[in-house]
Amino acid sequence: MPPSSRPHLNLWKQQLGVVPETVWERVELETLVLADNGLTSISDGLAKLKRLRMLDLGHNALASLPEAIGELDGLTDFLYLHDNRLVELPAAMVKLTRLRYLNISNNDLTSWPEQLDQLAGLVELRAADNRFTSLPDSIGRLWRLRELHLRNNLLVSLPDSIGELRELRQLDLRGNPLDSLPESIADLPALDKLDLRWTPSLSLPEWTRRLEARGVLVYS
């Protein structure tokens, strides 16, 4: 297979500054790595890459993303957006209903993006190191989630609906100013790890003993 028709393109740390337009012509691509290139914007040409299953835009300087990202119907495996300057996510991301892994950690998000509530295919969501002060009740719609990482935000509590995440195995709440937790967490049947380290304002709820009794690792 000639290089131009291979379905994988890795341009990690190439000091691009701007993505060459020729990249958007590579319609055969299934994986595209553009991490650590000092990118400040992404072209609408992204929409041409209908076969993408994995897109890595991490470690750049993106303050926004084009609505064209919603046209990536084939994006099922991974979307890395971590370590950027995002203050919001494009509305069109609600179309990525088959996406299984999303990383939006280390951005400038101050409120929970409502688009996430529509991504019912998510199995792992990493949203650490932002400035979320609360989670919506609609978090319970992400019923396929197995891992939810919320380290180093500004959360003081969680909604009871977190107990609707029946597939959840790992819940990372480290470094949040929590003062309470819903008891519904104790009834999560698949939970095997609850991380509450670096939460000095939280008194460990009595029900965490029930979790430990059934073998759940509770870090505090």
Q: Give residue 39's pLDDT.
A: 98
Cα 26 from Cα 21, distance rounded (Å): 9
Residue of 118, 68, 80, 125 whose CA lies nearest to 98: 118
By the 10 Å C-beta count (0-12 exposed, 13-18 middle, 19+ buried), 17 is classed as: exposed
Low-confidence stretches of the chain (pLDDT < 70) are: 1-5
CA dihedral over 94, 65, 30, 112, signed as positive or negative: negative
Q: Give residue 3's pLDDT.
A: 54
Q: Give residue 126's pLDDT.
A: 98
Q: Give residue 6's pLDDT.
A: 82
Q: Any bridge partners for residue 126, and if so which?
A: 103, 149
Q: How much is the pTM?
A: 0.96
CATH of span 3-219: 3.80.10.10
Q: Give residue 2's pLDDT.
A: 53
In the DSSP assignment, the letter for residue 174 is: T
Looking up tokens 């197995």 gives 146
Q: What are 81's two structure tokens?
A: 């957006």
Looking up tokens 């995440």 gives 165
Q: Any bridge partners for residue 55, and if so which?
A: 32, 79
Cβ atoms within 10 Å of 57's Cβ, excluding its own: 26
Which helix (H) or strand (E) segment holds residue 56: the answer is: strand 54-56
